[in-house]
Amino acid sequence: MIDLEKANEEALNRLLSAQPVLVDMGIAKDTIPGLNERTFLHAGPPIDWKNMSGPMRGAVIAGILFEGWAKTPEEAEKLAASGEIAFEPNHHHHAVGPMAGVITPSMPVFVVENKAFGNKSYTNINEGLGKVMRMGAYSEEVIERLRWIKRVMYPAMQAGIRHAAPDGGIDLKFIIAQALHMGDELHNRNKAATSLFVRMLAPHMIEAAPVVKDVADVVRFLDRSDIFFVNLAMAAAKASLEPAHGVEGSSMVTIMSRNGTEFGIKVSGLGDDWFTAPAAVPEVLLFPGFTKDDVNPDIGDSAIMETLGVGGFALAAAPAIVQFIGGSPQDGVNYTMEMYEITVGENNVYTIPYLNFRGTPTGIDILKVVETGTTPILDTGVACKRPGVGQVGAGIVRMPMEAFEKAAERFAEVYLG
């Protein structure tokens, strides 16, 4: 007889006892297991070139230009359509990436280790806001920024992170917990977390970077990029959630992700299957010059933040974010309160000052989602649906019920016999 409550408690306990630490950086093909020379990783459930949305295609084009496999976007598009490059989800390689989430073989990536369980996760480096690869832009300035990240930022950061490792490394759980008390929700607002990260890493970079003068440029870049920490938060979430997967009888979600065409989830007690539905279209606070017609359906692995129990689930901790995503601070509180209805429990470390330091709603339960008719809420960046443009705004989006219903049907099939 399955004990649903006990199984979910076990999955939640594994998640809550995670200790994600930033331990290293490396080049993707040498670092991420199973990533070969001609594979691109992407956000969300599996997708092929012909079904990719505009921003995903744009990011693939940028990746090909960055790798030097084509000289023009047109050539890059032809190569992408030729079938010569394999496209695989980040999540199949213990990796995550925001928005298009494209990781190419020679890109530098961060390595996060969950010290409590020994598993590792990987993510790419955040390029800032606006016209960036992850939003589907591929102009020369975008490619040049990616080259600068690899040439200048990567060696300085790698040296700093390695230098910090003997002292216990950069503790990402500590940063996330602190940032929640400083107005971040760790999905769209990472201003506090990025600042804390710089404060912890800068001395190590100065002591260890091969070119000390570069550290100033790296810190200036971080100062202009309030969202920088989101990739690290996502890798922390991924490393924290993986041990919670595979608990027999657990209906807790361990992955939520979107590829710009489809939304998909994985469930702890349901093996490796994705349960998918068409991606939702966010309610957007648009940047000047864009209209609703420019909005691409929901995209990115960043839904791992809500799977962890922060992001949209912790909006009550981030009153200032509503200036970026729309709504009022009270809406944020309401969203958080609503999410307690669909989660297994509450976080023991990630807490919300405004709610008297109550733990964030943590561990989405597919059965509660279906029973209440309430689906997870995310606050998210929004890309233009045309490739080559970039970000058009940010907003709020509810995950489609269909994926949870499919998962619940399967759950009943498996566990009712």
Partner 1 sequence: MREMTVSELLKNGPKVINIGVEQFYEDLKSQEVPVVQLDWRPPAVNSELLSKLRRLRGGGKS
For partner 1, the binding residues (CB under 8 A) are 1-4, 249, 334, 367, 370-373, 401, 405, 408-409, 411-412, 415-417
DSSP 255-317: EEEEESSEEEEEEGGGTT--EEEEPP--EEEEPTT--GGGBPPPEEGGGHHHHHT-GGGGGGG
| Smaller CB separation from partner 1, 356 or 416 | 416
| Smaller CB separation from partner 1, 228 or 263 | 263
377 within 8 A of 309, measured Cβ to Cβ:
no
In angstroms, give the least distance from the CB of 46 to partner 1. Answer: 26
In angstroms, give the least distance from the CB of 416 to partner 1. Answer: 6
| Smaller CB separation from partner 1, 323 or 372 | 372
| Smaller CB separation from partner 1, 66 or 335 | 335
In angstroms, give the least distance from the CB of 379 to partner 1. Answer: 17
- Taking the C-alpha atoms of residue 77 and residue 388, their distance in angstroms, rounded to an integer, is 12
Helix axis angle for 191-208 and 172-180, nearest 10°, is 140
In angstroms, give the least distance from the CB of 1 to partner 1. Answer: 5
User: How many whole angstroms from its chain centre is CA 165?
Assistant: 23
Amino acid 324 reads: F
| Smaller CB separation from partner 1, 178 or 334 | 334
In angstroms, give the least distance from the CB of 277 to partner 1. Answer: 13
In angstroms, give the least distance from the CB of 247 to partner 1. Answer: 14
Strand partners, 381: 394
| Smaller CB separation from partner 1, 86 or 412 | 412
Q: What b/e string do you get for 252-280 counting C-beta neighbours within 10 Å, with b at 16 or more? A: bbbbbbbbbbbbbbbbbbbeeebbbbebb
Helical residues (DSSP H) of 225-315, grouped into ranges = 230-241, 304-308
In angstroms, give the least distance from the CB of 338 to partner 1. Answer: 9
- Structure tokens belonging to residue 243: 């041990």
DSSP 330-359: HHHHHHHHHHGGGEEEEEEEEEEGGGTTEE
| Smaller CB separation from partner 1, 3 or 84 | 3
